[in-house]
Amino acid sequence: MVVKQIKGLRKRINLIKYMQGLGVFSFLNCVITMYCIYSNWVSIAKFVFALSLLSLLTSLIISLIEIIKSTNALELELSDIEDEEKNAQLAVVQLAEKEWVRPVGVIYRSDRNLSLAAKKFVQLLENNSQ
């Protein structure tokens, strides 16, 4: 099951990579189109803009496919959890501590001045730690 999930994730990563690449290619072609219009190369501008639109359309279709795959994977996970709940395989564990505390620290160079935002952040941490 885990190997199948990993393969599915790899496919989705590739879809995202192609989707983003085609989106960037589409915007790049839009910039080239604007330059062609500026240079009065109308026929080249029309061709490049058509290529831009096709790239954007393909990117959107790939995005839709990835969204469908993503939601299907989430539905599968949710149904697994629901099955475990029905079969009493899930348990609620009461923890002794009601409040969880996680130590937080800030490291900064003492030979440099902090920005105003950084000073306020350090003050906020100091005030909430008490």
Judged against a pLDDT cut of 80, whether residue 128 lies above it is answered with: no
Q: Give the chain's count of helices (H) and strands (E).
A: 3, 0
pLDDT in tens, 38-89: 999 999 999 999 999 999 999 999 999 999 999 988 888 888 888 888 888 8
Interatomic CA distance for residues 80 and 74, integer angstroms = 10
Q: Is 106 helix (H, G, I), strand (E, B) or coil?
A: coil
Any idea where the domains of the chain sit in the sequence? 2-86
* Predicted local confidence at residue 130, as pLDDT: 61
Across residues 104-127, what is the average pLDDT?
86
For the ranges 11-15, 31-35, 106-110, the lowest mean pLDDT is seen at 106-110
**C-beta atoms surrounding 128 within 10 Å:** 8
HEC profile for 3-51?
Answer: HHHHHHHHHHHHHHHHHHHHHHHHHHHHHHHHHHHHCCCHHHHHHHHHH
Judged against a pLDDT cut of 80, whether residue 129 lies above it is answered with: no
* Predicted local confidence at residue 3, as pLDDT: 82
Question: Distance of CA 42 to CAs 30, 37, 53, Å?
Answer: 13, 6, 16
Model confidence at 1, in pLDDT bands (50, 70, 90)? low
Across residues 110-127, what is the average pLDDT?
88
pLDDT in tens, 13-31: 999 999 999 999 999 999 9
Structure tokens at 112: 């440099």
